[in-house]
Structure 1
Amino acid sequence: MSEPLSEPRPPVNLPHVDADAHHEASWREGLKTGTPTLFGIAAWGLVVGIAMVKTGLTVPQALGMTLLVFAGSAQLASLPLIAANAPIWVIFATALVVNLRFVIFSALLAPHFSHLPWRQRVALGYVSGDMTVAIFLQKYPNEKPQLGKLSYLKGLLYPNWAAWQVGSIAGIFLGSAVPSEWGLGFAGTLAIICITVPMVANRPTLVGVLVAGVVAVAAAGLPYKLGLLAAVVVGMVAAMAAEEMLANRKLKGK
């Protein structure tokens, strides 16, 4: 007589499967939390990319700077010094002072990841940014070990770094193509457009943006830049009026 079939054994690596699933979920949570900031980061990178080229750096020099430095405020602070042929030590000292806040960030993150190899900690430090560190510390204010903590941080850091590089590299090539007389004001305009467009999420907002744009152009000749103030006020009123009209339509529809 044949022996009865035995019950299937549970996989011995089930805890590892659960841990992997938890790490993936943490990474996705970090990505989801940090996604709203990526548009602003890319726009900021766009401004810095154009500024590097407009200051006189060649495209290869600008690409090298954005990939190696990855610090917008330090880059902008260093560019006038580079253009003025300041001594190297002055440029480095300026960038160091501007970026001293990252010493504080490192001190805050160190207790969370002191167990990691130093190479990995250096790599994480390179891709860390102001917003990503702040978001991480809001999620994990306590230093105690938690499953998925590193994955959550990576979900914040890597997309943030990629958004910056995409914006900055686009700015570098765009800056080398636009006429020099357009200056940095053109970069600021592009940055505002990049930030504004994703925020136009509904009809009242679209109405406010369009009305503000029309008023700004029509009132451009007013003294003391009052046309911009008028555009902001009229645009806000138009957006609120549009929202009120839509709310009334919904009530009547019921």
Structure 2
Amino acid sequence: MLNAETASGHQSAAVLEKRAFSDAFKISGATMPGIFAWGMVSGMAMVKSGLTLWQALGMSFFVFAGSAQLAALPLIAANAPEWVVFVTALVVNLRFVIFAAAIGPHFAHLPWHRRLWYGYFNADITMGFFPRRFPSETLHQPAGKVGYFTGICYPNWCAWQSGALIGILLASQIPESWGIGFAGTLALLAVMIPMTVNLAALGGVLVAGVVAILAAHVPYRLGLLVAVLAGMAVAMLIDRLMDKHLPGKN
């Protein structure tokens, strides 16, 4: 009798995870064409920056971080010092530390190797959708979280890598007049807007955007690095001021 109840419980949990996966796939599906286009931009940029086929494929599969790749590629092409390339990519991807701090505790009950596996797939789009379904109040309620997380991340990875692969293989055949880069920008906007949930986030986005424009001509594309740091600093400052003067409010 106990075994039957246990089996029934496992089946119910599996059904719940599949349903969560389906829900996540539906809600994030609208961003997939843009992610695909952004992957194509990344693939084309890697080849046009001088990387070989295997180097480009390796960077796409192992790095799997479009903004860091696109920030690092001009530096690599310009023969910038390795430390500049490393620091630029590191700072651009510092947001994933924040993402992991927000989402990671929801998976604390899983073994380390599964958390490491899921960490590889974590992306901007995950932070845009996952906390809306599972806010911090659900921290100790694991049901449906793996299904929902993978329902966002796995299709995102497939869309990105398939786009990158096409961009790598057809880089010389795709004319810039197609406006693929603009489609990628729209994809990033679709991810960024849901994440701008309070005044601190809005302030960071606005400051980073303004600084990026003003510093567009800084050598080695380091203006992007400055913009990211400025946006993060302003967001943290606003957040601290809000905590000080408006306790419990965002």
TM-score (norm 2): 0.67
Does the 8 Å CA contact 2:35/2:160 hold for their aligned counterparts? yes
- Please say if residues 59 and 176 of structure 1, whose CA atoms lie closer than 8 Å, have aligned partners that are also in contact: no
Structure 1, gaps ≥5 residues long? 1-9, 197-254
2:40·2:166 contact (CA, 8 Å) conserved in 1? yes
Determine which of 135, 149, 152 is the counterpart of 2:148: 152
Larger Rg, first or second structure (1 or 2): 1
Structure 2 equivalent of residue 138 of structure 1? 132
Identity across matched positions, percent: 48
1:73-95 deviation per Cα after TM superposition (whole angstroms, max 9, x unaligned) = 10011011111122222211110
Q: CA deviation at 1:139?
A: 0.6
Q: 1:20 aligns with which of 5, 14, 32?
A: 14
State the AA in 1 paired with 2:114: Q
Q: Which amino acid aligns with 2:148?
A: Y
Q: CA RMSD in A?
A: 2.5
Cα deviation, residue 113, structure 1: 0.9
Q: Secondary structure, in 3 states, of the residue corresponding to 2:179?
A: helix
Residues 31-110 of structure 1: pairs in structure 2 closer than 5 A: 31-110=25-104
Question: Cα offset for 1:191?
Answer: 4.8
Q: Establish whether residue 175 from structure 1 lines up as the match of residue 178 from structure 2.
A: no
Partners of 2:101 and 2:185 in 1: CA distance? 31
Gaps of 5+ in 2: 187-250
Letter in 1 for 2:27: T
Gap change, CA 1:168 and 1:49, over 3 Å in 2: same
The answer to whether the Cα contact below 8 Å between 1:42 and 1:167 also exists between their aligned partners in 2 is yes
TM-score (norm. length: structure 1): 0.66
Letter in 1 for 2:163: G
Do the aligned partners of 1:132 and 1:160 also contact (CA within 8 Å) in 2? no
In 1, the alpha carbon distance for the partners of 2:52 and 2:11 equals 49
CA contact (8 A) 1:43 1:190 kept: yes
Which position in structure 2 is the counterpart of 1:162?
A: 158
> Does structure 2 retain, via aligned residues, the 8 Å contact 1:50–1:172?
yes
Match of 2:214 in 1: none
Provide the C-alpha distance between the structure 2 equivalents of 1:99 and 1:43, rounded to a whole number of angstroms.
Answer: 20
**Residue matched to 1:127:** 121
Q: Could you tell me whether the CA contact under 8 Å between 2:17 and 2:144 is conserved in 1?
A: yes
